[in-house]
Amino acid sequence: MSYYEQYRERIDRAIQANRERTYYAPFPENPKSYPENAAALALSRFQACLNNDFTELLQEKPLRFEGEEISPYLQTGLGIRYPIFADKLLVQTASKALDIWRKVSFNERAGILAACLDRMKERFFDIAYATQHTTGQSFMMAFQAGGPHAADRAMEVIAMGMEELRRVPESCVWDKPMGKFNITLQKTWKAMPRGVALVIGCSTFPTWNTLPGVFASLITGNSVIIKPHPKAVLPIAIVVAEMQKVFNEAGITPDVIQLAPDTLAFPLAWELAGHPDVRIIDYTGNTSFGNQLEGLQQTGKQVFTEKAGVNPVIIDSVTDIKAVCDNLAFSLSLYAGQMCTAPQNFFVSHQGIRTPEGMVSVDDFMELFTAALNNISGHPKMAPGVLAALQQDAQKDRIASVAAEFSDAVVLPSNSFANEEFPDARVASPLLLKVDASRTEAYDREWFGPIGVVICTPSTDESLRRVLEMSRRHGAISCGIYCTDPDRVADMADQLARIFVPVSVNLTGPIYLNQHAAFSDFHVTGGNPAGNASFTDALYLNRRFVWVGQRFASSSL
For residue 327, the surrounding DSSP H or E stretch is helix 321-333
Which alpha helices (DSSP H) does 28-123 contain, by range?
38-49, 87-101, 106-121
- Least Cα distance to 58 among 249, 231, 277, 266 occurs for 249
Number of neighbouring beta carbons within 10 Å of residue 512: 21
- Position 555 scores a pLDDT of 59
On the question of pLDDT at 235 being above 80, the answer is: yes
In the predicted model, what is the mean pLDDT of residues 530-547? 97
Q: Mean per-residue pLDDT for 285-301?
A: 96
User: Over 80: is that where the pLDDT of 557 sits?
Assistant: no
DSSP labels for 376-440? HHT-TTHHHHHT---SSHHHHHHHHHHHHHTGGGEEE-------SS-TT----PPEEEEEETT-G
What tens digit of pLDDT does each residue of 95-135 get?
999 999 999 999 999 999 999 999 999 999 999 999 999 99
Write out pLDDT tens, residues 310-358.
Answer: 999 999 999 999 999 999 999 999 999 999 999 999 999 999 999 999 9
Domain segments of the chain as ranges: 3-307+533-550, 312-505
CB atoms within 10 A of CB 213: 29
Pairing outcome for strands 410-412 and 545-553: unpaired
Phi-psi region of 509 (alpha: psi -120 to 50; beta: other; left: phi over 0): left
Q: Which numeric CATH code is attached to 312-505?
A: 3.40.309.10
* CA torsion, ordered 415, 397, 470, 376, to nearest 10 deg: -20
d(CA 443, CA 102): 48
Q: pLDDT for 59-109, tens place per residue?
A: 999 999 999 999 999 999 999 999 999 999 999 999 999 999 999 999 999
pLDDT at res. 554: 72
Q: What are phi and psi of 308, to 5 degrees?
A: -110, 150
Query: Which one-letter DSSP state was computed for residue 479?
Result: -
Q: Which fold has domain 3-307+533-550?
A: Aldehyde Dehydrogenase; Chain A, domain 1 (3.40.605)
Q: Render pLDDT for 364-378 as a digit per residue (tens, 0 to 9).
A: 999 999 999 999 999
User: What ranges in 55-103 are assigned the alpha helix state H?
Assistant: 87-101
Mean residue pLDDT across the chain: 97
Question: Could you tell me the pTM of the whole model?
Answer: 0.96
pLDDT band at 41 (very low <50, low <70, confident <90, very high): very high
Give CA–CA dist 66/84, Å, rounded: 7
pLDDT above 60: residue 44? yes
